[in-house]
Amino acid sequence: MTQQIAVIGGDARYLELIRQLQALPEVTISLVGFDKLEKGFTGLNQTDFADLNQENLDAVILPITGTDSQGYVETVFSDQTVQLTNEWFDGLNDRTVVFTGISNDYLDNAADQANVELIPLLNRDDVAIYNSIPTAEGMIMMAIEHTDYTIHSSRVIVVGFGRVGNTVANKFAALGAKVSVCAESIMDLARITELGHTAIPFDQLHEHTRDGDLLINTVPAQVVTKEAIQHLPPHGIIFDLASKPGGTDFAYAKQRGIKSILAKSLPGIVAPKTAGKILADVIKQLLLKKEERI
């Protein structure tokens, strides 16, 4: 049975995602918000949002950003205005799976009320771990761009030892940086030490920032506080990889004259093809499992 998939909006990584989905057997793909694309996608069904027949859809793929708090979808390759209202969700059938990068209260409630499955891809361990690789490479690129010294022998403090923090710490250490990692759990602190990094408990971060050239935050909560920032050396730079608004007191960093950069969506910027393939691989696996259940 042919699966009907609608891709609504998306950035450069979605071009590779669409190419990958085309390889699936018995799939029809409708694109909404891609009407400004150059040649190469002309063989696909470009659809106006108003003409999309949502009751026949097996899957809907939303951008990494999902929707805003009113259901509006960002369409990078179109001037179309797309709003996913509660009524639109109600028009989906109960088999439909909605994929998004991240979710919010609006999306959660709309999907819940319509009784459709919502899968925030960036919450999944597999996607986050794969994505941590282009994120770390992008972070290295930015560090080189914004400094006038080598990464080798520089003092790098990574805040957070989750899926991104772990990869970032290891990649910088492989380039010869002196890496410290700030974490909360005793188990994480033990693992950080075992990997050869310097372990810093969260409540002691401010005691170590005076020894940092680069401070890289991966925690989506306000953890890089005034207390931590005020001890950074004048040449120190903060890179915040956490989702918007980040976990840094940017106002105080600016007041102190410390360069601070919210470096979001690095996989889509530095390696959109790889990032798109990561998303496509996971979506394909989930769609195949769904088909097997049916």
Percent of the chain with pLDDT strictly greater than 90:
83
- Cβ distance 164 to 189 under 8 Å? no
Q: What's residue 121's pLDDT? A: 96
Residue 41, pLDDT > 80, answer: no
Pairing of strands 82-83, 259-262: unpaired
Q: What is the mean pLDDT of residues 23-34?
A: 89
Which of 21-35, 75-89, 170-184 is predicted most confidently? 170-184
Question: Would the pLDDT of 201 be above 80?
Answer: yes
> Taking 60 as the threshold, does the pLDDT of residue 40 lie above it?
no
Question: How much is the average pLDDT of 259-285?
Answer: 94
Computed on alpha carbons and rounded to an integer, the radius of gyration of the chain in Å comes to 21
In sequence order, the β-bridge partners of residue 97 are 59, 117
Could you report the per-residue pLDDT of 228-255, keeping only the tens digit for each?
999 999 999 999 999 878 999 999 999 9
119-145 pLDDT, tens digit per residue, is 999 999 999 999 999 999 999 999 999
- The pLDDT assigned to 294 comes to 54
- For the cut 60, the answer to whether the pLDDT of residue 39 exceeds it is no
- Confidence band for 42, pLDDT divided at 50, 70 and 90: low
* pTM metric for this prediction: 0.87
